[in-house]
Amino acid sequence: MRPTLKDVAKLASVSTATVSNVIRNTKFVSEPVKQRILSSMKELGYEPNIIARSLKMNKTFKIGVVVPDITNPFFSEIVKEVENSLEKEGYQLILSNSHYEVEREYLVCSSFISGGGVDALILVAPRLSSERLMAMIMGFPVVIVDRPSFSDDENFVFIFSDNYSGASLVADKLVSKKYEKFACIAGPEMVPNANARLEGFYDRLVAHNISEDRITVTRAEFTFDKGFSEMNSILSSADPAESLGVFVCSDIAAWGALEAVKEKGLRIPEDVGIIGYDDISFAKYLHPGLTTIKNPMIEMGKLSATCVLDLLRGDSAITCNSIVLGSSLVERGTI
């Protein structure tokens, strides 16, 4: 059996309270006593039982993190930063995947919240409607990452980049390059940021006096395969004589789209230009390098960790409950 605090106390001939105090340095303990305790701890190889501590303190020092799919580089880069930052503060990360399924997301989140196993939640790109989300997390500390704010309840904080304006950068670039036709392969409708991107792109296009009949819009899940097939169907119904500028709303789908274009034997960026979104680490390795909008994954990850701990401390150093980051275009070879 593992030694307990009681064992240490007995060996050092002191009370458990005193031992507890030296472990966490929470009260002054005289030097001789402290030394006796320290050496008893060492002798027994004592390590505090974190579960017992959790029960007593009503804190688990664990944060639940739910992402759609850890296999997607966009999410894994965020998670890595979160874990790294959390670890520094003595917190651990419990990971769950929602597999892009709304109901699974719901189940996972609510069991986190009602199970009492985590102190707070970080939800990355959740797809639940804002109503269900609100109802579910009421009273529980949550930070929502990569989704626009929909509430100013100070119990949760939003961390996201301005996807609408990120997407308008795309439109600017595409028209400046004088493409004759435009297309957008947008993300699923239930993803708020997918809509923000589509709107930002579309609005800016019409602001540039592009007539609507020169713009085609479709939707695809954030995967290589969907990007590939969606691009194929766009291409098959397009006039090959006209140059086409397309905005694919995630790098991973843009990769698929890129391959579709190459397979058709079209030139990039002359015949068709592609701009992605996110700037995942692989974007620069593609052929040609993928022009894209930089989504600040690292910053989002770090901030998520910071904010979730602030939330727990009641530290309202953050006066507002939403942090919106900037985005920028990184130009490579696909346009």
Partner DNA sequence: ATGAAAGCGCTAACAC
Partner DNA sequence: GTGTTAGCGCTTTCAT
Q: Is the Cβ–Cβ distance between 290 and 280 less than 8 Å? A: no
Residue 76 binds: one of its own copies, DNA, none (C-beta under 5 to 8 A by kind): its own copies
State how far the Cα of 141 lies from the Cα of 59, in Å rounded to an integer.
13
30-49: contacts with its own copies (CB under 8 A): 47, 49
The CA-atom distances, in angstroms, between 175 and each of 26, 239, 254 are 63, 18, 19
Kindly tell me which of 13 and 233 has the beta carbon lying closer to DNA. Answer: 13
Residue 16 binds: one of its own copies, DNA, none (C-beta under 5 to 8 A by kind): DNA
240: contact with its own copies by CB under 8 A: no
190: contact with its own copies by CB under 8 A: no
80: contact with its own copies by CB under 8 A: yes
Question: Cβ of residue 213: shortest distance to its own copies, in angstroms?
Answer: 33
DSSP 188-226: -TT-HHHHHHHHHHHHHHHHTT--GGGEEEEE--SSHHH
Kindly tell me which of 140 and 222 has the beta carbon lying closer to DNA. Answer: 140
Residue 94 binds: one of DNA, its own copies, none (C-beta under 5 to 8 A by kind): its own copies
Bridge partners of 219? 186
Question: Cβ of residue 253: shortest distance to its own copies, in angstroms?
Answer: 12
Q: Which residues bind DNA (CB under 7 A)?
A: 1-2, 4-6, 13-18, 20-21, 23-24, 26-30, 32-34, 48-49, 52-53, 55-58
Q: Which of 285, 284, 304, 303 lies closest to 294 in space, CA to CA? A: 284
Question: Cβ of residue 308: shortest distance to its own copies, in angstroms?
Answer: 16
Kindly tell me which of 69 and 203 has the beta carbon lying closer to its own copies. Answer: 69
Q: What's at 265, amino acid-wise?
A: G
Q: Which of 161, 157, 165, 156 lies closest to 201 in space, CA to CA? A: 165
92: contact with its own copies by CB under 8 A: yes
The 8-class DSSP code of residue 25 comes to: T
Residue 29 binds: one of DNA, its own copies, none (C-beta under 5 to 8 A by kind): DNA
The single residue listed with the structure tokens 């698929």 is 256
Q: Is the Cβ–Cβ distance between 194 and 165 less than 8 Å? A: no
- Cα-flanking dihedrals φ and ψ of residue 208, to 5°? -85, 10
Residue 93 binds: one of DNA, its own copies, none (C-beta under 5 to 8 A by kind): its own copies
The single residue listed with the structure tokens 């390098």 is 289
Question: Cβ of residue 45: shortest distance to DNA, in angstroms?
Answer: 12
State how far the Cα of 21 lies from the Cα of 36, in Å rounded to an integer.
13
Residue 262 binds: one of DNA, its own copies, none (C-beta under 5 to 8 A by kind): its own copies
The 8-class DSSP code of residue 125 comes to: S
State how far the Cα of 113 lies from the Cα of 10, in Å rounded to an integer.
39
6's enclosing H/E stretch is helix 5-12
Residue 21 binds: one of its own copies, DNA, none (C-beta under 5 to 8 A by kind): DNA
114-143: contacts with its own copies (CB under 8 A): 114-117
Residue 193 binds: one of DNA, its own copies, none (C-beta under 5 to 8 A by kind): none
Question: Cβ of residue 1: shortest distance to DNA, in angstroms?
Answer: 6
Strands (E), the chain: 62-67, 92-97, 120-124, 142-145, 156-161, 181-186, 215-219, 244-248, 272-278, 291-294, 322-325, 328-330
276-305: contacts with its own copies (CB under 8 A): 281-282, 285, 287
Residue selected from 10, 16, 33, 84 as contacting its own copies according to rule CB under 8 A:
84
- Give contact residues for its own copies (rule: CB under 8 A): 2, 47, 49-52, 54-55, 60, 62, 69-71, 73, 76-77, 79-80, 83-84, 87, 92-97, 114-117, 224, 255-256, 259, 262, 281-282, 285, 287
